A and B are shown apart, each in its own frame.
Chain A
Amino acid sequence: MSDVLYYLLCGGLLLGVMAGIAMLSRVKTAPYGNGLSALCMAAAILLVMRRYELVSLRALWICLAIGLILGLWGAVKVKMIQMPQTVALLNGFGGAASALVAAVYVWQAGPGGGFFYTAAAITLAIGWFTFSGSLIAAGKLHNRIRPQPLIWPGHSRILILTLAVMAALICLLPLWRQGSGAVAVVLSLVSLFFGVAFALRIGGADMPVAISLLNALSGTAGAVAGMTVNEPLLVAVGGVVGASGILLTQIMCRGMNRRLPEILTGATVAVKPLPAADAAGEAAGNSADSQLQAGGDPAGSQKPADDASTDRQKQESGAPSGGKKQEADVFAALRSARQVIIVPGYGMALAQAQHLLKKLSDALEQRGAEVKFAIHPVAGRMPGHMNVLLCEADVPYGQLYEMQDINEQFAHCDIAVAVGANDVINPAANTAEGTPIYGMPVLQIAGAPLVAVCNFDRKPGYAGVENPLYDMDKTVLFLGDAKESLAKLLQALDETV
């Protein structure tokens, strides 16, 4: 096959992949886009095997078949709630595969000058880092490894030192050809260690950012591996994946009010809940009216916000603070509601309550209410995770609203129901300066006239900031398992039928 023809075919396949990605931007066309990309990938594999005359090598076909079967088997088996760790694991496989390609190149003393050896060294570094970092991330998401950040003494110094060693080895590899094999081995080991040290320090709540970043790195590793073996199609597709990962990383950072350098350097992990909580309560009490048109609870701001037991007593003993809403108010509001907004959070997913939530939504619709789901960009454990979980429960995607589209509507609904959501509905983000969530875009649920919160407990969420919403008069808490709380709401709806 002539070079010109080969490059033309590569260009065509690249356009196919790009068209497939473009089709992903609409729900209707997305499945076809995915299919088109898959088709192009299959064609690319055949094209490369043809060009390098590998078609007759049976071992390669066997390897391809093994990978195909394992991959499809995994794709069928995996549960939707496990998507974050699945994506993390696949990121790791991609990184490892690229690193192995570079390792083979160095081992075989491949052709070409310094450029190709430099590319190989960079591939080894990024690839192994992505592999070990992704395994740790997947372990944390799967609760095999404690999700809390693990910080060693002098962690930052260790990381910087490791990074410097990696940079030195990358420079050394193309310069010292005789010892390139040994350098490659050491570089691989150091990179593996760097990935572990890096990922251990990232906490469970920051994982969406970490997997997006590792996604970008696995693509970049592929692209640089393509430079190593001089394979333009690999470079091109790797570049696309890298760009996608970077974009998603940016989106997640914005949604969580984090700056990437803070997450990477572990600056976000030290949070002291108590002072933050006081600040949150006070600030919310002072400016809730202007910010949220939400009559803040002045009593709530004066007492220590962490004193949950008195809160609960107050709630159970029938609201000394006058207008405190009761469970009965929620039931009545649900029965007569025209507009209901449901805010699902990761707690809903943990409790596996999405199917019950769909039942509640159906029951409300039968009574003539319009039900909307408000989805925060970081609801769930990865970008877009909550949408997938709700769609699995047969919620039509037309009912899922993005934050900026639904925020104005809270004021017009009859009741808002939060299920397992905490940080993403915390009004302290608007007001409590100095807390980790200050300035984070949140769902303005406090703008609703009545709020039902079905959370497990009233503890702060991952950000460690107390939620002043819980103390507002308009808020009714249904603590405990989300399934039981939802069942209670459903039962209340049925009672008057």
Chain B
Amino acid sequence: MEPIWLIVIFAATALAGYKLIRQVPSLLHTPLMSGMNALSGVTVLGALCAAGAAVYSGSRFCAYIAIVLAMINVAGGFGVTARMLNMFKSKKEAGGE
């Protein structure tokens, strides 16, 4: 893909993301942030590409570490977000009156 398109994509998604995230109430900002942690683990895609392209064993090892770190982000981020969101209960669910 041409470099210019990559920059266009970056700008467009950043703007769209900004608009979407402004709708999230402050009540949910902590789960939002941990969810964003999970999404920043998307760099696992780059790590997979890098691992596939790596020839030297040293660089391949670097790529493996990158995969593990990014995957911790993905799994940890989504996991902890799900845990938090499941704690949010309305009055009825919480067994109130």
Interchain nearest-CB distance for B74 vs A (Å): 6
For A91, the chain B residues whose CB sits under 8 A away are 37, 40
- Closest Cβ neighbor of B13 among chain A residues: A239
- Taking a contact as CB atoms under 8 Å apart, the answer to whether B45 and A63 are in contact is no
For A101, the chain B residues whose CB sits under 8 A away are 43, 46-47, 49-50, 63, 66
Asked if A422 is an interface residue, CB under 8 A from chain B, the answer is no
For B9, the chain A residues whose CB sits under 8 A away are 232, 235-236, 239
- Taking a contact as CB atoms under 8 Å apart, the answer to whether A402 and B63 are in contact is no
Partner of B78, one of A41, A222, A236: A41
- Taking a contact as CB atoms under 8 Å apart, the answer to whether A14 and B50 are in contact is no
- Taking a contact as CB atoms under 8 Å apart, the answer to whether B79 and A94 are in contact is no
Interchain nearest-CB distance for A463 vs B (Å): 20
Residues 216-272 (chain A) with a chain B CB within 8 angstroms: 218-219, 221-223, 225-248, 251
* Interface residues contributed by chain A, number (CB under 8 Å): 111
Given contacts A34-B78, A396-B96, contact A229 B50 (CB under 8 A): yes
- Taking a contact as CB atoms under 8 Å apart, the answer to whether A24 and B66 are in contact is no
Interchain nearest-CB distance for A123 vs B (Å): 9
For A394, the chain B residues whose CB sits under 8 A away are 89, 94-95
- Taking a contact as CB atoms under 8 Å apart, the answer to whether B46 and A229 are in contact is yes
Given contacts A67-B75, A396-B90, contact A226 B46 (CB under 8 A): yes
Given contacts A37-B38, A44-B45, contact A246 B66 (CB under 8 A): no
- Closest Cβ neighbor of B74 among chain A residues: A41
For B12, the chain A residues whose CB sits under 8 A away are 239
For B94, the chain A residues whose CB sits under 8 A away are 394-396
- Closest Cβ neighbor of A237 among chain B residues: B42
CA distance A21 to B16 in the complex (A): 11
CA distance A465 to B22 in the complex (A): 32
Against B, the Cβ 8 Å flags (1 = close, 0 = not) of A105-132 are 1011010000110000000000000000
- Taking a contact as CB atoms under 8 Å apart, the answer to whether B43 and A238 are in contact is yes
- Taking a contact as CB atoms under 8 Å apart, the answer to whether B32 and A90 are in contact is no
Residues 24-74 (chain B) with a chain A CB within 8 angstroms: 24-56, 58-60, 62-74
* Interface residues contributed by chain B, number (CB under 8 Å): 90
For A76, the chain B residues whose CB sits under 8 A away are 79, 83
For B78, the chain A residues whose CB sits under 8 A away are 34, 37-38, 41, 75
Interchain nearest-CB distance for A230 vs B (Å): 6
Asked if A397 is an interface residue, CB under 8 A from chain B, the answer is yes
Asked if A71 is an interface residue, CB under 8 A from chain B, the answer is yes
Against B, the Cβ 8 Å flags (1 = close, 0 = not) of A61-81 are 001101111111011101010
For B51, the chain A residues whose CB sits under 8 A away are 54, 57, 59-60, 63, 104
Interchain nearest-CB distance for B49 vs A (Å): 5
For B7, the chain A residues whose CB sits under 8 A away are 227
Given contacts A63-B71, A66-B71, A70-B72, contact A104 B13 (CB under 8 A): no
Partner of B82, one of A34, A115, A215, A392: A34
The interface-forming segment of A141-149, A378-386, A433-441, A475-483 is A378-386
The interface-forming segment of A45-53, A190-198, A199-207, A325-333 is A45-53
Q: Chain A residues in contact with chain B, CB under 8 A?
A: 14, 17-18, 21-22, 24-25, 27, 30-31, 34-35, 37-38, 41, 44-45, 48-49, 52-54, 57, 59-60, 63-64, 66-72, 74-76, 78, 80, 83, 86-87, 90-91, 93-94, 96-98, 100-101, 103-105, 107-108, 110, 115-116, 211-212, 215, 218-219, 221-223, 225-248, 251, 365, 375, 377, 382-385, 387-388, 391-392, 394-400, 402
* Further contacts, 12 of them, CB under 8 A, given A34-B31, A233-B42, A239-B11: A21-B17, A21-B24, A38-B38, A44-B45, A54-B51, A71-B71, A74-B80, A91-B37, A226-B46, A240-B17, A245-B36, A387-B30
Instruction: Give 14 A-B contacts (CB < 8 Å), ordered by A residue.
Output: A22-B23, A25-B28, A45-B45, A60-B51, A63-B68, A75-B75, A93-B72, A108-B53, A108-B59, A230-B1, A234-B42, A235-B9, A387-B88, A391-B89
